[in-house]
Each structure stands twice: as C-alpha cells, then as structure tokens.
Amino acid sequence: MSQIRMHLRGPVAELRLDNPSKLNAFTVEMLRQLAEFCDTLDRRTDVRLVLVTAEGERAFCAGADITAWGGLSPAEFARHWVRDGHRIFDRLARLSKPTVAAISGHAFGGGLELAAACDLRVMAPKATLALPEAGVGIVPGWSGTQRLARLIPEPMLKEMALFGRRLTAERALACGFVAEVAEDARAAAEALAERIVASSPRSIEISKAMIHAAVGEDRGASVEMLGSGMIAATEDRAEGVTAFREKRKPEFPGT
C-alpha cells in the first residue's frame, strides 16, 4: 500500500503523506516513493505547483520511523539511511516547480526537514516544529543542521536541536519560516497555490533557480541551467547544431 499518494487537480499536484497510524513517520518505502514522484513531477509540463500535505490533523510528519533505522549498522545508517534521505529531500528542494507545505499537525525531525525542503510553508496555529533527535541519541540527518540554518535564526535552531525546545506557529511566523498561520492550513496552502499558478510558469521557474543560486541551494546546477537556457535561444546554438548535422564548419553570427 502506497504511503505517499499523488493527486492531480489541474496544474496542481498534491503529494500526501499517508501513514497516519505512525503519525506519517518516514519509512524506506516512503523515501523511495518520494524520489519517484519528484522525478515524475519535474518532467510533467502540465504540473505547475506541488502541494505537500499529510493525512490526519495530529501530525504532518513525526520524523523517521525508528523501526526503519534502529537496527542498522553504523555504516548502513550513515551511508544509506542518512545519505539517501538527504539526497531525496534535496531532490524535492530542487524541483523546478514551486512547492508549498501545509503543516496541519506537528512536524518533528524528518517531518520538519521535509517542510524545510519546500519553498513555502503554511502552518496550523496549534502545530509545533521540533528536532528531537538528541533525545534518541542521534542528530538531524536530512538537512536539519544545514538547510534549516539558512531558514531559521541560529539561536532558535540551537534551542531546538540542542535543548529540544519546540517551535510554535507564532514564533515560526515571526522568524519567517512559515508564510502564514491558518486554522485550515491546507486551504490556505491551496489559496497560495492558486495565486502562484496564475503567474508565468517560466518566470516562476527561473526566479526559483536564481534565488537558489544566491543562497547556495544547488548553486552550480542553477547557474549552468540558467546559462544553458540563455544559450539555447541564440542563433549561435542553432548554427552550431545545423553545422554539426551538415558536417561543415559553423559560421557563428554572434546573436
């Protein structure tokens, strides 16, 4: 049974965590499904925005299912569970489509890291955010000390990671981590989505890539993607391809 479901509604794709019996905690299968959905969504020209939601109101995502990693050897834990999860969350963060997370319930550990990988976040007023890893003898492994350090002030992040303090919706809004606090987080996220999909999809994509280049999120690929898009629209590129196919020396016009 799929623990992440994808629903398409016009230009909006919803990725819904569906493991409520375990508070939507991530399993190996959920990581695999998320990776596959990201690859699919990046290639779908009919999808212009991705909503990330969760089944149930109690938890957006309680983190990583301890039964999925608790028995791993140190090498397996580091090389596979942490590195694979980090790579997959990076894949979500670097989608060409804008992403919005609707945090209707608590987001802890990997759940908070999942929300952080999205472009915007909307949060219910009673939901909280936490990094509880130290309480079970581990550390954040899916960008909780890296990407979150760009999104949350350092003292606040240390409160969470070192002292186990939960971050309320009010404080998350005040520091800019969430864009909005709403009783119905999903409805508010959908309203944001409607505004975004009314804009130029190419402008949104390029703006996202430019911002990512500025903050260091996949900077190298963002810069080369932007440059490649520019060169692909030139007469020089058209002449180079034509000359190659005709097996002759190209005569570049410089335009």
- Best CA proximity match to 89, nearest among 14, 30, 149: 30
Q: Is 76 a known active-site residue?
A: no
DSSP class of residue 133 equals G
DSSP class of residue 17 equals E
**Residue 30, exposed/middle/buried by CB under 10 A (0-12, 13-18, 19+)?**
buried
Q: Which residue type sits at 135?
A: G
Q: Is 36 a known active-site residue?
A: no
Bridge partner list, 99: 50
Q: Is 121 helix (H, G, I), strand (E, B) or coil?
A: strand
The Cα–Cα gap between 255 and 253 comes to 6
Q: CB atoms < 10 A from the CB of 14, how many? A: 20
**Residue 214, exposed/middle/buried by CB under 10 A (0-12, 13-18, 19+)?**
exposed
Q: Tokens 């703006």 correspond to what residue?
A: 207
Active-site annotation holder among 14, 55, 133, 190: 133
Active-site annotation holder among 113, 159, 217, 239: 113
Residues marked active site are found at 113, 133
